[in-house]
Amino acid sequence: MSLEVYRDIQGRLVKVGVIDDTDSANREPTFRYDVSFLSSPDVTALSFSLPLRSLAFSEEEFKPYFKGLLPEGAALGNLAMTLGISDDDYLELLARCGLDCIGDVVINVQTYQEKRAYRKFSEDEMGALAGHPLARDRLTEGSRLSLAGTQNKCGLYCAQSVGGAREWYQPLGGAPSNCIVKFAHAELSDLMLVEQLCLACARACGIDVPPSCLIDLGAPAICIERYDRIMPTEEQLDGLIVPARQHQEDFTQVFGIMPSAKYKELEPDTVSALSLFLRKYSARPARDIESLARITLFNYLIGNCDNHLKNLSVLYSPDNKAVSLAPAYDVVSTTFYTRFSRKMGMKLGHSSVIDEVCTDDIRLHAKRLGIGQKALKSISCDLLDNAVKGLSDEASNLNKQGFEVAPHIADDIEEGMTSRLAVLASL
């Protein structure tokens, strides 16, 4: 198999390299940058884990990045089953679903230019997506779209009509989506309500999160704008403005770690490693480290124990010459559900279990990040002053939209935060 890898750089498809299993004596695939790409002016690497070089990368070297473009867990299994592909065959999955990936990567572009389109998506079709994984996977196949993560989701194009109502379109043939619609598992029917409350709470606490809203498809679904898409642009397709792709990669891809190892503790510790990376490579290191501190402390406060390396990313500038910490995403209070582990994906100080975190752990966390006590106090005060009100305000807003259970969920999340608010207040 041979997969051509492109990037959509400022509206222009540029061939980056090829994944190939024909130039290796043992038939294991390799990835090699294209010679003309390497000689291009201002060329930048596809990933920090795949630095520019003429020598081919082994599968062990390139697999973490490309496997990181695909879904995980049950979402991957369902998609693979729908396509009739083994869930281990990540290259075939990318070949089938790689025309609209996270970031600006486009894989196998043969049908890209000729067949791009936006097809109007009816309300009945939208409704059919809720609670029907097969329908979502078929949509993903039709859109040739690959989204990382474990949750049920699909990429769509959302436009506002003249009257302000949302109009939905299915991207075809590699046309870029501009939003991600996520659906709850049947046994976690209120998960999207929890996520919307947490995102609004994070925003109230000064955290950069993408715009989002709930939509009622019989069951609540959440629509989140893609921060790796830039609007507006001058290009139009089927009467719609085509968003520009913006490159990004999560921290498993940055460090060359397989998605299955996303909970791995980095050396000397994860927080120090992330802080060191931002100091070395970020275009705005001080701001990004403060943002990382705010995100990690908010995750603690809201009870998000799924705070692993794939839920933090870097976003490239439109010209790909600089990187910065991406907006926060997948911000969910996992402690709201008693069935989920209370072991955190990322340690706070010496503690791995959220209920064991104390003020000394928070101070050590700040030290590892490289922020002073004054900055730590300022962030903590922001969280203390705004978190509860942010939850309450969004619950009231959702209640007015017809999601009547939202205030009760917000109350439960707030109750679970009580002991953690006390820890932050004692700093």
Q: Which domains does the chain have, with CATH numbers?
A: 2-67 (no CATH), 114-244 (no CATH), 248-425 (1.10.1070)
Q: What's the confidence (pLDDT) of residue 108?
A: 79
- CA–CA separation, 93 vs 67, rounded Å? 10
Q: What's the confidence (pLDDT) of residue 127?
A: 78
Q: What's the confidence (pLDDT) of residue 77?
A: 79
Which residues touch 101 (CB under 8 Å, ≥6 apart)?
Answer: 69, 107, 145, 146, 147
Percent of the chain with pLDDT over 70: 92
- CA–CA separation, 413 vs 394, rounded Å? 13
**pTM, whole model, 2 decimals?**
0.93
Q: Is the pLDDT of residue 133 over 80?
A: no
pLDDT tens track for 319-336: 999 999 999 999 999 999
Least Cα distance to 48 among 60, 37, 64 occurs for 64
- Report how far apart, in Å, the C-alpha atoms of 365 and of each of 113, 376, 380, 425 are: 49, 10, 13, 16
149: DSSP letter: B
Q: What's the confidence (pLDDT) of residue 124?
A: 80
- Report how far apart, in Å, the C-alpha atoms of 92 and of each of 80, 95, 140 are: 10, 5, 14
Least Cα distance to 254 among 282, 226, 294 occurs for 282
Q: Record the tokens describing residue 194, joined without a space.
A: 């929890």
Q: What mean pLDDT comes out for the span 228-254? A: 93
Q: Is the pLDDT of residue 96 over 60?
A: yes
Q: What's the confidence (pLDDT) of residue 234?
A: 87
Residue 297 contacts residue 383 (beta carbons within 8 Å): yes
Q: Buried (b) or exposed (e) across 129-160, using 16+ Cβ within 10 A?
A: bbbebebbbbbbeebbbbbbbbbbbbbbbbbe
Confidence of residue 146 (pLDDT cuts 50, 70, 90): low
Residue 123 contacts residue 161 (beta carbons within 8 Å): no
The letter for the amino acid at 412 is: D
Residue 312 contacts residue 325 (beta carbons within 8 Å): yes
Q: What mean pLDDT comes out for the span 281-295? A: 98
372: DSSP letter: -
Q: Is the pLDDT of residue 362 over 80?
A: yes
Question: In DSSP terms, which residues pair with 117 in a beta bridge?
Answer: 172
Confidence of residue 126 (pLDDT cuts 50, 70, 90): confident
Q: Is the pLDDT of residue 46 over 70?
A: yes
pLDDT tens track for 177-192: 999 999 887 778 899 9
Grouping H, G, I as helix, E, B as strand and the rest as coil, residue 101 is coil
226: DSSP letter: -
Grouping H, G, I as helix, E, B as strand and the rest as coil, residue 130 is coil
Grouping H, G, I as helix, E, B as strand and the rest as coil, residue 377 is helix
The sheet with strand 152-160 has its strands ordered as 117-121, 166-172, 152-160, 179-183, 220-225, 212-216
Q: What's the confidence (pLDDT) of residue 67?
A: 95
Q: Is the pLDDT of residue 150 over 90?
A: no
Grouping H, G, I as helix, E, B as strand and the rest as coil, residue 397 is helix
Alpha-carbon 324 to chain mean position: 15
Q: Is the pLDDT of residue 103 over 60?
A: yes
Q: Is the pLDDT of residue 241 over 90?
A: yes
Lowest mean pLDDT among 84-98, 334-348, 364-378: 84-98
Q: Is the pLDDT of residue 274 over 90?
A: yes
Residue 149 contacts residue 224 (beta carbons within 8 Å): no
Q: Is the pLDDT of residue 23 over 80?
A: no
Q: What mean pLDDT comes out for the span 191-217? A: 96
Across all residues in the chain, what is the average pLDDT?
90
